[in-house]
Amino acid sequence: MKPSREEKKAASGYVYATEALFSKIRNIQQSGVFKFHGGRVADFKDLAAFLYKINFITARKEDGEFIQRRYFEESRYLSHKFVDFGFEWEVHPAYRWSLQPDNLSEVFDTLRASSDQ
């Protein structure tokens, strides 16, 4: 889920529209098959829903000068098979550290004020 060089240049970084998120997951799936417990093979929508359920990604919507964020605990049914409700998807800032940014200050520079308190 680390942003590619092109994503960094476009300043999209860790934020994805629904189709861009699906495309990113499909690219990751090319490295191997992902299975859930019990052997069921996960498709790209299953993986996106799983990432939302574990709060690796959060739903976000620009609301004027603030960003409205939704987490799975608050909006459990927002991503049921990823029906598009007008939200974009963002890698949670806590996980960006593990994606090994080239420059740690980039993580802070990409964050904006949130309407979450």
60: helix, strand or coil: strand
4: helix, strand or coil: coil
User: What is the span of the domain harbouring residue 33?
Assistant: 5-106
In-domain check, residue 113: no
In-domain check, residue 65: yes
State the total domains in the chain.
1
In-domain check, residue 92: yes
Over residues 101-114, the pLDDT tens digits come to 566 676 667 666 55
Q: Helical H runs in 11-110? A: 18-29, 44-53, 93-96, 104-110
In-domain check, residue 111: no
In-domain check, residue 93: yes
Mean pLDDT of the 18-38 span: 90
pLDDT of residue 73: 75
In-domain check, residue 23: yes
Over residues 47-102, the pLDDT tens digits come to 998 888 888 998 888 888 888 888 887 766 554 556 567 788 888 877 776 666 56
In-domain check, residue 112: no
